[in-house]
Structures are given as C-alpha cells and as structure tokens.
Amino acid sequence: MRQQIVLALALIGGIAGLSAQAAEDPSSATDLKATIALHGMPCDQVVNVKRLGDSDYQAACRDGNRYHVFVNAQGRVVVEKQ
C-alpha cells in the first residue's frame, strides 16, 4: 500500500510537470499509461496524447479506449473514461 501511495505521488508530480512539448514524448505516454492502470482501467499502450491544459490530457490507447486524465481542484489525479 505504501509503495502504491509513493508511486501515485510520483505520477502526480510527473503529470503536473509535463510541458506541451513533453506531451509528444514517449515518456509522457508511459506516465499516462501507468496512471490509467493505477486507476484500474484498461490501456494496453498509449498511442496518442493531446494536452488540453495544465495537468490536463486526453489519452488514446491502442485498444480503442480513450481517457481524460487531469488533476482536479483538490490536487488529485482523476482518470475518466471517454
């Protein structure tokens, strides 16, 4: 449990720190895939990332799933299936 909390905090920091240029970077796709998985949602591989704003992304997975990944007003990472 403690490892999951530490990993979630690291991912929050990673997502919050992504720049517009980094959204094209394969490492941002990896971070988003891990974040989606930590929220218990399926995604075999992130194939497209669109930055919608600060700490706000749309991720498309190879398996056809699409997600909205963002940090809410309370500072929590939210993953919504689209």
pLDDT at 20: 40
Q: Which structural domain range is residue 76 located in?
A: 2-81
pLDDT at 74: 95
The total number of structural domains in the chain stands at 1
How does the average pLDDT of the chain come out, rounded?
A: 80
Is the whole-model pTM more than 0.75? no
Tokens of 80: 């919504």
